[in-house]
Amino acid sequence: MKIAVYPGSFDPVTFGHIDIAERAAKIFDKLIIAVMVNPHKNPLFSIVQRTELIRASVSHIPNIEVDSFPGLLVHYLQRQGAQVIVKGLRAVSDFESELSMASINWKMYPAAETVFIPTNTQFSYISSSLVKEIARNGGSIRDFVPPHVEGAVMEAYRRQLNG
- Residues annotated catalytic, as ranges: 17, 41, 90, 128
- Is 140 annotated as contributing to ligand binding? no
Task: Say how far apart CA 51 and CA 35 lie, in whole Å.
Answer: 7
- Is 59 annotated as contributing to ligand binding? no
- Is 99 annotated as contributing to ligand binding? no
- Is 9 annotated as contributing to ligand binding? yes
- Is 123 annotated as contributing to ligand binding? yes
- Is 10 annotated as contributing to ligand binding? yes
Q: What is the dihedral of CA 134, 137, 139, 145, to 10 degrees?
A: 40
Q: Quick check: 31 and 21 in contact, CB under 8 A?
A: yes
Under the phi-then-psi rule, with left for phi > 0, alpha for psi from -120 to 50, and beta for the rest, what region is 42? Answer: beta
Supply the Cα-derived Rg of the chain in whole angstroms: 16
Which residues contribute to the annotated binding site? 9-10, 17, 41, 73, 87-90, 98, 123-129
Binding-site positions for substrate: 9, 41, 73, 87
Q: Which residues are annotated as a binding site for ATP?
A: 9-10, 17, 88-90, 98, 123-129
